Amino acid sequence: MLRLLKVTGNSLTPRFQTGDFVIVSKIPFFFAPVKAGDVVAFHQPGYGTLIKLVESLDPVSGELTVTGTQPESVDSRVFGPVKKSALLGKVIWHVAKPR
Amino acid sequence: MIYKLFQAIDQTLGIQQAKAHCDVPCGIYDPIVAQISALTVVRMIDLMTDLEGKGGEKNKEYFNSMARYVAVKEEHAEKAKAEIRVIWGDFLKAQHLEKHPDTHALVHKIMQLGSKSRQAVDREAAVQFVEAINEFAQIFWEAKGVATKRAKAPYAPALELVYPAL
Lowest mean pLDDT among A1-15, B12-26, B63-77: B12-26
Tell me how far the alpha carbon of residue B42 is from its chain's centroid: 15
Strand ranges in chain B using DSSP code E only, listed in sequence order: 17-19, 148-152, 160-164
Task: Compute the count of residue pairs across chains A and B with CB atoms less than 8 Å apart.
Answer: 96
Position B48 scores a pLDDT of: 97
- Average pLDDT over chain B, rounded to whole? 92
* Alpha-carbon gap, residue A6 to B89, rounded angstroms: 29
Structure pTM?
Answer: 0.59
Question: Which residue does chain B place closest to A96, by CA atoms?
Answer: B3
Q: What is the mean pLDDT of residues B47-51?
A: 96
- Answer yes or no: is pLDDT of B22 > 80: no
Please give the residue of chain B at the shortest CA–CA distance from A8.
B19
Q: CA separation (Å) from B31 to A95, B87, B106?
A: 38, 8, 14
pLDDT at B21 over 90: no
Mean pLDDT of B65-94: 93
On chain B, the residues whose CB falls within 8 A of the CB of A98 are: 3
> Any CB–CB contact under 8 A between B154 and chain A?
no
Question: Cβ contacts (< 8 Å) between B6 and chain A: which residues?
Answer: 4, 6, 21, 95
Residue A51's pLDDT is 95
User: Residue range B2-18: average pLDDT?
Assistant: 89
For residue B100, which phi and psi values (nearest 5 degrees)? -125, 75
C-beta separation of A49 from A24 below 8 A:
no
Binned at pLDDT 50, 70 and 90, residue B95 comes out as confident
- The pLDDT score that the predictor gives to residue A11 is 87
Among candidates A60, A64, A59, A62, which has minimal Cα distance to A79? A64
* Residues of chain A below pLDDT 50: none
Residue of A nearest to B13 (CA): A4
Angle between helices B123-143 and B103-119 (to 10 degrees): 150
Tell whether the model's pLDDT for residue B130 goes beyond 80: yes
Residue A74 has a pLDDT of: 86
The 3-state DSSP class for residue B130 equals: helix
Pairwise CA distance, residues B133 & B109, whole Å: 9
Q: What is the pLDDT of residue A45?
A: 83
Check pLDDT > 80 for residue B154. Answer: yes
